[in-house]
Structure 1
Amino acid sequence: MAKYCERCGSQLKRGKCPICDEGIYTSSNERRFSFNKRDILWFIVLALILGTSIICSESSPFHEDIQIFVWSNFNSKQKVMTKVDRRTYKEAAYSLQKTGDSVELVLPAGNYTVGKDIPEGVYKVTNLSGFGPLSIRDDANMITIFTSMIMEGETSDYFSSYLEDVRLYQGAQVTVSTDKMKFESENARNDLMGKRHKNTLTQEYTVSSPVMIGEMIPEGTYDIIAVEGEGHVSSENYDYGIQEGVSFNDDYYSLREFRNVQLKKYTKLTVDEGLTIKLIPSEYSIGEEE
């Protein structure tokens, strides 16, 4: 009787290998078609992965049902997202002043800066038209907010038309990606508001294909307006840039106009085929002096 394991060479104990934990096979054919528990486990795991990928693929008849299930069970917070989670502000460098001015601002789609366009304060933000997100980026206070909202007066199982406890600190970038949103505060700091530089650009440009800023179009701050077709417009810069779907036709999910886009030299502005936009110099410069 063999004393050593034919698979790993270890000395047998009571006829079994202490490493492989199994009996010695009597022939090479038996070894070829035998599986241990680990082999079977890996086979089951791979089968589950393969089966899941097939079922979840877009061509699967179960694709839509799975999406609805996942959205309903793993995005439940989105159903009642009417107030910002306080943990969002845990890294803020200071607390906002409790008293201040009462303000109400209605802002169209575009990029804005707290302390220049919007006074610092705590706000209730209401979406008045269209569908899309309110985005807030505040690197100094490590605050990031991105919440999609439906239009005021509509109902949804997943989205709200307003968001409360939106704390805006000096220097934060606010991006409105719907037709217009209303900002209301009772403790706004108008006393901290600064002035923008007047935009020195005057020429308008029509664009219907990707362009490199600085070649034919000078860098600066522009309002982007769709004049024909529909599609996506994007700039390579994230700060005060644009990543939006725009349309010349009335579209609940797209914008006709987006204001205050900072186009920087040597960066590309991408425009989808079939879409034509116009670049109109904004009233004030935005981005560089922030």
Structure 2
Amino acid sequence: MKTPWLPYASFNIWSQFVPAIGQEHYHCDMKRGFARAQKKEPLVKALLEQDTIIQHIGLLAQMAVYEFHQDIQLLQHSDGVEKIAENLKLSQEPIEVQQRLIAIIKNYHKNPILLGKNIVKLSRGDEGFPEPIQIKHGNYWFNLFAAIDSIFIESDGKLHILDFKTGKSDFDRRQAFVYLLAATYLYPGKKAVASFYNLESSKWSEPITATNAQLNAIQNELARIAQRHQAELSRYKKNLGDFAQIFPANPGFNCRYCQFSSICKFSLSEVPA
């Protein structure tokens, strides 16, 4: 029996509606419009199929961790870094990607934080969309998508959800709360904490927990985001010419780093430094 379609939400969609604190000047609703409403348009689809450098480095970093734990011996061998680089075919990547990934692989080889952990889940990173979690909030049903990098069990039996990061971005606690909410459905009755670990800086966040009241508030916000998202898509389908009104642009310095700058008529990619 085919699973019925439901409106949906995720941390990624939430962040496209409401940017992290301090990132407001980079926010542009039109990026959400391209990525969500026009994703099947040929030019948009082609751009979405090409990872940005930031996305590509994040994916390869996740793959590197996965490869280490597929063959634990590589963590003890002096040539472990070279073997992982070979497995990932880094020699075929641009120099910037090669340099950053080698540093990431060396960091993890030196400090393999999941070694010896009771790992429940470790994603390779390229599995595609996770199975949706069906949530009923009041009388409203929606799907929650939560792509979790890794989960291990602490010595006290508590689940620890660990999300890997790269680059210099600050950790967004909302993502941890979304994962903790997802855990209540995926592992009912289990206590859980969440944290972030930056594979480049070797910085590990403090463990993040959530009360039932906090999780209910997160669920309420995600239900609201799912409704807003679906309303936007419906409005756009009925009025294709209103794209710029439904998804207003925020041209400026952020255009330099936008993957849609080449097709956006509002782009200011040549903004002076």
TM norm structure 1:
0.21
Which one has the bigger helix percentage? 2
Highest RCO, 1 vs 2 (Cα 8 Å, sep ≥ 6): 2
TM norm structure 2:
0.22
